[in-house]
Amino acid sequence: MHGNVWEWVQDCKGSYASGTVTDPTGPQSGPFRVYRGGSWRNDARACQSADRPDYGSAHGADSLGFRVLREVP
């Protein structure tokens, strides 16, 4: 879902692997965490998965959240 709140993702900020990769991931550790999706405060350009801003993991805002996932066996 795009445009509701920015969502923290698992990746830390860093470069992706070179070459063609399906569902790439960034580094597993680092000082900055990535968030995606845009929020109600942003224009349409920010509300896309390719936009990868980052903040320190202690950062909080009313436009930043996370999505809870539960795998069903």
Residue 1 lies in a domain: yes
Range of the domain at 68: 1-13+28-73
As for how many domains the chain has, the answer is: 1
pLDDT tens for residues 13-70? 887 777 887 777 778 888 888 888 888 888 887 777 777 787 777 777 888 887 777 8
| Spatial contact of 39 and 64, defined as CB atoms under 8 Å apart | yes
Task: Look up the pTM and report it.
Answer: 0.62
| Spatial contact of 27 and 10, defined as CB atoms under 8 Å apart | no
- DSSP H helix total and E strand total for the chain: 0, 4
Query: So what's the pLDDT on residue 1?
Result: 57
Residue 19 lies in a domain: no
Q: Tell whether the model's pLDDT for residue 2 goes beyond 70.
A: no
Residue 46 lies in a domain: yes
What band does 12 get if pLDDT is binned at 50, 70 and 90?
confident
Query: So what's the pLDDT on residue 59?
Result: 75
Return d(Cα 40, Cα 4) in angstroms, integer.
Answer: 5
- End-to-end CA gap in the chain: 24
Query: So what's the pLDDT on residue 44?
Result: 81
Residue 9 lies in a domain: yes
